[in-house]
Structure formats: C-alpha cells, structure tokens
Structure 1
Amino acid sequence: MNKWKKELSFILSILMVVVLTACGSISGESSSDQAGSESEGKDKTLTIGQINWAENIAVTNMWKVILEDKGYNVKLNYLNMGSTMTALESGDLDASLEVWLPVQDANYLEKYQDTVNFSDATWFDNAKVGLVVPTYLEDINSVKDLNENKEMFDSEIVGFDPGAGTMDVTEQLIKDYDLDYELLPSSESAMLAEINKAVKDEEPIVAPLWSPHWAISKYDLKFLEDPQNTFGGVEKIHHATRQGFEEDYPEVSKWFKNWKMDDQQIGELIDYVESSEEPLDGAAKWVEENPDLIDEWVK
C-alpha cells in the first residue's frame, strides 16, 4: 500500500510538472503574440509635424489621407519650425514634410544635420521667397527702394511666425541692406489678414512671402528685386525624418522620396484645402481626383 502511494505521488508530481510547463508555454506564446501585435500596431502609427502655413497644412493632410488609405494611423502634431526640429531630434516626431533649402532653413540644417535626417529628395523644385508688395505700388520694385519710402510703410515689415527660417533671413536682409525697418513677428494668418486689409484699402504693405502660396495671385503681389541675393534664388522643398525612420518605415520612406509636385498641382491642392471647412476633406477630394499621380508616388 505504501509502495502504491509512493508511485502515485511520483506520477502526480510528473503530471504537475507537465501541466505547469504547458501553462508556461501557453502563457509565453500569448505574451509573444501580444508583443508582436503591439509591435505591428506601433509600426503602423506615424506622427507628422504640421506648421501653420498654407502649403504645409495642405501636404500634411494630403499625406494623412494617402497613408491612412494604405492602413497607417497618422497623427498630426501642430508645431512651429524650431519645435519641429527639436521633436525630430528627440524622436518624438517621425517626419516633417517641409524644409526649404539651400537658404531659408539652412540654419536648421547646420544645427541638426548630425541628429536629423534631411532627405536629398525634393518634392517641389521651383520655390521662391522674398519681400512682396502689392502691384499697385508701381514705384517700389526693389529692396533698395524701401529706405527711400520708409514713411510710406511706417518703417515696418509685417512678418509671420518667429523662428521660421524665412524670418531669420529677413532679419539678415535688413542688415545687408541697412534698412531702417522693424520686422514684426505674428503668424501667417495674421500677416495675411494685414495684407488683405491693406489691399482692400489700397494701402502700402511689405511682407516676406513665398511661392507656392495662394496669396500671391489672390492679392496681386509682386516680389521685390533682391540684388544682394540674400533670399537666394530658386529654393527646393525637402522633407526630414527622425533617425531610424527609414529602417522602421522603409515603405513610407520610399514613398516620400518618390513624391513630386509642380506649381499647378500644389496650387490646386492648397485651393481645395483652403476652400473646405475641414482641411482633411479638401485633401481627400484632391487625392480622389488625382489617382494616377498618387500611384506614381506609392508604387
């Protein structure tokens, strides 16, 4: 009897070990599966910086539509240019879709070139930046004309976001031409409101602006000649990503590099976004109407 009890106890011990091992294996497989699922879910989430500029709002919403159609979850973080670069450096942001080179954002390239990936690929190759005035100011055609007419402009250049590369270049332009002017920072929307008011009343105004931008044609503005070329010539628009982005998202990285737009395409996209109650709705409409172009990027 004692011998039988010992054998039974031994068998039960073995069974207990088998059961515990099996449970551990099942638990391990479940944890592994869960971790894999979480990793896959994480890999499908992208965070893109959005700056409150017309073309930036347009292209970030456009890519949100395209990427979410492809199964990604896209978050847009609203930041200024300086904060965007800091977030890319820290890895809190995956991508920024607008870096102007070789002049406007050269300061950010110099500061972050070792910690942020600035793509060699460009998505717009015919950008221009400079000071603009309404065309009805027929005698104001060059930056050199500003000091002679400083009373007309109250010695003020109406600017936009502090920290934007173009604002820094405008400050440099004031030094280069020894302009007796003050650059007034605000926001793009506030600057455009001032331009709208001035044009409506046919008053003088001077401001830094860029092309592509819907305001150039809507308000009939002209770029002032820049003999010293402080603003540079033709600018190209690149994108930037955090370190490791290409390894984590090789497919999306390839799509961003394939991305190209011309004046008509970006102008139409901006118009769709600006005329919609929600930017995403305007971007979605434009994407729906341009399937062949989108296919060229995401092939």
Structure 2
Amino acid sequence: MGAMLAACGSTEEGSNSSETANGSGKTEEKEINLAYVEWDTEIASTHVVGKVLEDLGYDVTLTPLDNAIMWEAVSTGEADAMVAGWLPHTHASQYEKYKDKLVHLGENLSGAKIGLVVPSYMKDVNSIEDLKDQADMEITGIEPGAGIMAATEKALTEYENLADYELLSSSSGAMTTALGQAIQNEEEIIVTGWSPHWKFASYDLKYLEDPKGVYGGEETINTFVRQGLEEDMPEAYKVIDAFNWTSEDLEAIMLEINQGTDPDNAAEKWVEDNAEKVAEWTKGIE
C-alpha cells in the first residue's frame, strides 16, 4: 500500500519548510497527505481542503485511492486524513472494519443520498418495483467495491423484478458519460446515483423510490483522520475538523470541474470566492 500511495500521490507546492512553530511553541510538521476516492464529490472536496491547507503553508499531497485502500491508508497512518466517508450506509462495512483505528471528526456535509436514478422522461418508472425490461435490463454502475455497488447487488436479490437485471461495473466517469449519451438520444438508462452530484444540475433526473429500503435514508459525508494527527499537526487538525459546507457549495465546484476546469484551479477559485466561509475553517490560525 505504501508503494501505491507513493505512486498515486500528487504533491501540491506549499511551504518550503517541512516544520514550523505553532502557537504552543511546539514544532508542527507541515507535510500532510489527504486520501480520497476518485468520485466527483471527493475530488472536489479534497482539492478544496488541500488548497486551504496549502494557503496556510502546508506541503499538501492529494492521493487518489480505491475506496477500501483509502480507509486502510488513514487507519494505518499512510495517509493523514480524508473527507470522504459516506455514512451510515454507503461505507458501513469499511467504517465497521477500521473505526477503532481512526479518529472520526463528524460530518462535513448532510443531506446526501444514494439510489437508482433514471431520466425524468422515463415517466412510467417511479419506483424500483416498476422496473421490468427497461434499459435492456442493465444497470450502469461505477467502480467494483463501492458501497452503492454492494447496495445494488443486494437490490438485485431483494427485488424479484430485478432478478434478471445485470449490474455493469465501470467508473463514475464512464457512468456519467453513458448517462449523458443516453439522455442526448432520449434512450432508457438506469444508473447508480448519488447526490450531491453535478449530474442533477445538468440533467432532469429522478431517484426511483426504494420501498424495501435497500439504499437506506439520508446519508452524511464524514471526515476521518489518523490517530495522533491532533498532536502532530494541531493547526491542520483544526482546519480539517472545522471543514463543513453545503450541497450547493459542493455542486458548484463539481460542475466547474466537469465543464473542464482543472480541479486545482477550480478549488483555488472556490476558495477565493468563498473567503468568508474559509475564514470560519481557519479561525484563530495565523
């Protein structure tokens, strides 16, 4: 895993010094590694947090990892933090496995949701139970191992009408590409969906009702750090702990990235445009 972190990490320039004296007179490390899974939500949020820390003089590394490896990396200290934990359903198994080796700082965004999503022009389909032979009996998914994929595999067994449906593994990018192409041709498509996500701002979509509750209710996105981070980097810990925003904040930067803006540049612009909010996260830090 250490080799993978080294290979995947992309260092962003911060302070020339790796250490600095904090307010308590102690020396604080200034190199920090943020892990994230390559979902649109987590690309956006992690780059924003990374930019804020970089502006405070930290040498920030952003490391994209597979979902399970992301959790493991923070639990072992290979990475310092992540702002990408979906609870209580999507990442339930990873949370249960690693929670005793992590520090949970609570939610950074509320009102998240997962489920099966279709274009609104599929008017005869409003519930998972309405699915019969739509979209060639295929559900377009994302990366294998993602929580929403596990929930959808469960849905295939829980809903009798889905018994002959096939769940197609791909990636979040491939899924949204397929969704856009289907909508352009007004074709039927069923995708594994979650919000916040820019696709809801770009397309007229709807979640299918889930009467069996396979996908659970409202989700929150949570922040986790490695044990010992507060002692090693108290100011960085304070910023990461304070990080909290809304679905509207997240979707704004996600849409900009989707429209072609480099994530680093999109994060820089968002931080500049939301100085008041950023000041709340960095309050009391020189």
Smaller-chain TM-score bracket: 0.7 to 0.9
1:290 aligns with 2:261: no
CA deviation map 1:164-204 (0-9, x unaligned): 11111111222221322121111001111110111111111
1:87 aligns with 2:73: yes
Q: TM-score, normalised by structure 2?
A: 0.86
Report the Cα offset of residue 160 of structure 1. 0.3
User: Which 10-residue stretch deviates more, 267-276 or 127-136?
Assistant: 267-276
From the CA coordinates, give the structure whose radius of gyration is larger: 1
Give the distance between the partners of 1:230 and 1:38, measured in 2 at CA.
Answer: 47
Change (3 A) 1:61 1:225: same
Indicate the residue corresponding to 2:235 in structure 1. 251
* DSSP 3-state at the match of 1:213: coil
Indicate the residue corresponding to 1:175 in structure 2. 157
Amino acid at match of 2:141: G
* DSSP 3-state at the match of 1:113: helix
Indicate the residue corresponding to 2:188 in structure 1. 204
Structure 2 unmatched ranges of 5 or more: 1-16, 21-26
Q: Is the Cα contact below 8 Å between 2:28 and 2:234 reproduced in 1?
A: no
1:227 aligns with 2:227: no
* DSSP 3-state at the match of 1:89: helix
Number of residue pairs the alignment of both structures matches: 259
Q: Is the Cα contact below 8 Å between 1:123 and 1:237 reproduced in 2?
A: yes
Counterparts of 1:100-115 in structure 2, within 5 Å, are 100-115=86-101
* DSSP 3-state at the match of 1:202: coil
Indicate the residue corresponding to 2:13 in structure 1. none
Answer 1 or 2: which has greater helix percent: 1
Indicate the residue corresponding to 1:260 in structure 2. 244
Indicate the residue corresponding to 1:118 in structure 2. 104
* DSSP 3-state at the match of 2:100: coil
Cα RMSD between the aligned structures? 1.7
Indicate the residue corresponding to 2:119 in structure 1. 134
Q: Is the Cα contact below 8 Å between 2:18 and 2:30 reproduced in 1?
A: no
User: Which 10-residue stretch deviates more, 176-185 or 75-84?
Assistant: 176-185
Instruction: Give aligned-pair identity as a percent.
Output: 39
Amino acid at match of 1:173: A
Q: TM-score, normalised by structure 1?
A: 0.82
Counterparts of 1:145-156 in structure 2, within 5 Å, are 145-146=130-131, 149-150=132-133, 152-156=134-138
Amino acid at match of 2:148: T
Change (3 A) 1:118 1:166: farther
* DSSP 3-state at the match of 2:136: coil
Report the Cα offset of residue 87 of structure 1. 1.3
CA deviation map 1:111-168 (0-9, x unaligned): 111222233x21111111110000000000001011xx22x22221100011111111
CA deviation map 1:58-110 (0-9, x unaligned): 11111111101001011011111111112122211111111111111111111
